[in-house]
Amino acid sequence: MSLLKEKLAGQIPGLRQDLKELGMAHGDKQISTVTVGQAYGGMRGVKGMICDTSVVEPDQGLIIRGRPILDIKDKLPEEIFWLLITGELPSDAELKSLQNEFMAAASVPGYVWDVLAAMPKESHPMTMLDTAILVMQHESKFAARYHQMAKTDYWEAALEDAIAILGTIPVIAAGLYRMRYNKGPRIEPDTALDWAANYVHMLGLQETPDCYDMMRLYLTLHSDHEGGNVSANTCHTVGSALSDPYYAVSAGLNGLAGPLHGLANQECLGFVIKIRDQFGGVPTEEQLTKACWDLLNGGQVIPGYGHAVLRVPDPRFVAFHGFGKEHCADDEIYKIVDLLFQVAPKVLTEHGKAKNPWPNVDAGSGALLYHYGLTEFPYYTVLFSVSRAMGMLSQLVINRAIGTAITRPKSVSTDWIKEFVGASGAAG
């Protein structure tokens, strides 16, 4: 038994008992109400699901298993996955065990490359990635053993699939990058490197300590963001039907590909580059202030600023910004990101319509990728996906362990809403 599986097996009986006792003692207690505006507004703010891997607090940002993200930003992504699954950071031996599991699972079936090679040459990298994950469903241990497993054992097969997906996803992501952008033949994994450094190696980027650290930071910061975001929620919903992790993660990746979710960082970087080109370099504070006002007065937004939940600067942006200040402070793109951080909140505050004038993670992440040689914007969401797979899969494994029910909220019609509102008004 792997050390991660052994650790989780020891925790599951207590988790199940806690949930049983909570349900019996407090199952009828109300934790949320829903307004008409929320029903039409994407259910934002409605407390209606459980996620124990992480929470996002409006005044603090991302907290993974009780630890603010800035406190663990220097941990390896493998350590973060262990933390997501177990609630604890791994020992050296546990970390090495997990790294060995990832490396052992890093072999991508040949048919996956055949399918990717047969796709149109101009295919979007995200289409290639989620197709590859879905094609590999043939390898699912959960699907193969479903009819022979007891419900209480679902988590074991889900964990095996999770390890297999996390072992292969950076290999696939790097391989399709080199294929899609004509970078030459695939680069084989290096067993001496950690998960993020190996990804840099297989991409063919500069293999320097700084670049390794940038990728480690990127994959750690994007790993999870509670359960209600589109990719995690989609993965959860599909997985709740007992579709195996390959189906569920592929579905989650399709959600991550949307312009309102995973594509945001490339849009933010595009804006920064447009500013650079417009002014022939780094603008003055006055020039950038005017550019921001021109955007707002034209009915547009300042890319990278504002967040559905946060009401403070995204601590993930703070981490990226600090890394850039230490490693690429003279880079033109970084300088504009830094200046925008000084200008945009003031403009948005004076404008008065933004609930949150502060930067989110996307305001800074693209600048670092660009600096280290990843200049192909459409690929950025693939990087996000490699990281967010950790969050999706950790949530899925835990949900199979505690026997989470199939997702089936009740929907109502607009006519029902109109009748209900009218009846309520009359009663008042």
Tell me: do 297 and 389 sit in the same domain: no
Specify the pTM: 0.94
- Asked if residue 19 is part of any domain, the answer here is no
| Same domain for 177 and 325 | no
Amino acid sitting at position 427: A
Please work out, in degrees rounded to the nearest 5, the angle formed at the alpha carbon of residue 165 by the alpha carbons of 120 and 77: 110
Say yes or no: 301 and 355 in one domain.
Answer: yes
User: For residues 224 and 215, what is the distance between their CA atoms, to the nearest angstrom?
Assistant: 16
CATH number of the domain where residue 235 is located: 1.10.580.10
The CB-side HSE value for 88 (13 A sphere, CA atoms) comes to: 12
Contact 218, 365 (CB under 8 A): yes
- Report CA torsion sign: 231, 212, 67, 62: negative
Q: What is the mean pLDDT of each run of 10 residues along the chain (428 residues)?
A: 93 94 92 91 89 93 97 98 98 98 97 98 96 98 97 98 98 98 97 97 97 98 95 97 98 91 82 95 97 94 84 92 96 96 94 86 91 94 97 98 95 93 60
> What's the pLDDT at 428?
40
Domain boundary among 351, 371, 391: 371
Phi then psi dihedrals of residue 67, to 5 deg: -115, 120
- Contact present, 172 and 112 (Cβ < 8 Å): yes
Write down the residue that tokens 């599909």 correspond to: 238
Which domain does 229 fall in, by range? 99-259+377-402
Same domain, 274 and 203: no
157 falls within a domain: yes
Statement to judge: residues 218 and 326 lie in one domain: no
Distance in angstroms (rounded) separating the CA atoms of residues 399 and 393: 10
Tokens of 394: 């950790």
CATH number at residue 293: 1.10.230.10
Q: Is residue 17 part of a domain?
A: no
Distance CA 425, CA 33 (A): 18
| Gap between the Cα atoms of 387 and 124, Å rounded | 18
340 within 8 A of 354, measured Cβ to Cβ: no
Task: Identify whether the C-beta of residue 403 lies closer than 8 Å to the C-beta of residue 157.
Answer: no
Amino acid, single-letter form, for residue 330: D
**425 domain residue, yes or no:** no
> Are 200 and 280 within one domain?
no
Does residue 62 lie within any of the structural domains? no
pLDDT at 423: 67
Task: Report helix, strand or coil for 406.
Answer: coil
pLDDT of residue 424: 55
Both 284 and 367 in one domain: the answer is yes
Domain count, the chain: 2
Q: Tell me: do 348 and 362 sit in the same domain.
A: yes
CA distance 361 to 255: 18
User: Same structural domain for residues 128 and 241?
Assistant: yes
Contact in structure between 64 and 387 (CB atoms under 8 Å): no
Residue 277 maps to a domain: yes
Please check whether residues 254 and 118 belong to one and the same domain: yes
Written as six digits, the tokens of 110 are 């040949």
Q: Is the same domain home to 255 and 268? A: no
Q: Say if 37 falls within a structural domain.
A: no
Whether residue 229 is found in the same domain as residue 291: no
* Phi/psi of residue 359, nearest 5 degrees: -75, 145
Catalytic residues: 261, 307, 362
Report if residue 86 sits inside a domain.
no
